[in-house]
Structure 1
């Protein structure tokens, strides 16, 4: 280390050779221009400096790392809730793309990935071993059309199946609490206000999930199953791209601490999304998309009413009748728009 520092200091004092290797010419790569304008401190209309780069980055990492509420960042680094929350417009974008792909109200596709834990402690090996007979840790994720992962729940033992992971995750917490961004759309003349996710056949029949149909009978259901499975591949492709970009989450991990593994997976997903966001405008040309307002939350002082409303929303999420009604409406919608009555 001392030798390397001595070389660096010598080069800094006497950079006559022009590069890090003697005799090589210097290539200017415009590193100063490689940045995201979102994190640049700017002035407002009256010339006052806005939020600093440190404030914006700190707020983002506190929300991602600690799961704090968006308005909690206001007390810590003086950033308002409307600045920290931008997912209402993300939901609007998902709805626009989902409708173009034949699924009005779709917010992405849901699935799980198992990460092999090579150095799992022996005492935990039985708990973390699943179908593969090797200890694994489960990542539950929701990805959209361009492989952007906007929900991730990581850490459950590999002995759990997708349903167990779903029950333990926070995917529908905002819906149950009444704080989810609005998702208004119409199918077959009926207005819906809660989005849904595409999933494979193991997932339960909830009003917020649309699994595929195994062994579909009839042309309508066959068309639905074909289109559903094609769109559902988004999350599987996202897992593949994530693993191809970061080899550490592809092969067996050799670390011991679960918290370190969580930080590694979270960091890889964040960097994956940064790449996706940087390339998004080049991949998809969206002329216009509906802009959703932020959710309005009424503050109720009666704890009993709050709890009853929470239970009602929770029951609606798991409403099997609402699930079949939504699925049947989607089947008819797709047949009207993409089906061939001659078949």
Structure 2
């Protein structure tokens, strides 16, 4: 259940999917340097790999200036020559993968709302975000929703080199001066859409899926459908559909059905605008009446908001 998962973990989605592990992806990331493993024999395991296969965190990549995301290699990081040769046989499909991998290069700003989770378990996470990559600003909100009720909320603001995180229900916040790379806070609670790791579901398995072009949210998109095999994921093996922005590579929708008639995993974008500009007044967070904590103490509260059993909540079923 969501209450057992620490929201500050880094999950390397690729390694987990390829291993066929049921996972919570990096949509709940709060720090690339804070890595944990949470495992319960009766629940969905969460695991963190020691090495990231596609995003190599090392000095040569960390300061890569070729792409907006400094952790992305200059060239697409094929792990084997056979993978590169296979991609050449399906250039149109690989183009979609590559577009998703480098999506931040094509997104100047974006604002939207989406839900992600495991519908059959009643586990959903709700996100709202406004991010301007050119101006290095991000205002986002994350809510845990269980059986239609809001259990907890976190607000995040990055502006003028200062990052503020707030848990309004607990009236607490923390503030951090960002002195080097803002990548982490730029991606908080939006990168599941703007810089999605779910490209792994369509990588190196091109015969298993097909696509057509269409339009959603006033933009051209790739509408992808196919069948995931157990080689890709034990948990997700079965029919799936994915929607990707043709111009930017942003992920606009994902449904994986596994062996069920309803999605076992779902990402639904409710609304989104890309590269249309964002008013500066959207980048605001009111912390009046909230107590400022150290980053460490705030992190303990943030971990506890999911680790603890939360009775009640705000009913969202009629929203």
Query: TM-score, normalization: structure 1?
Result: 0.23
Higher percent of residues as strand: 2
* Bigger helix share: 1
Asked which structure has the greater RCO (Cα within 8 Å, sep 6+), the reply is 2
Instruction: Normalising by structure 2, report the TM-score.
Output: 0.24
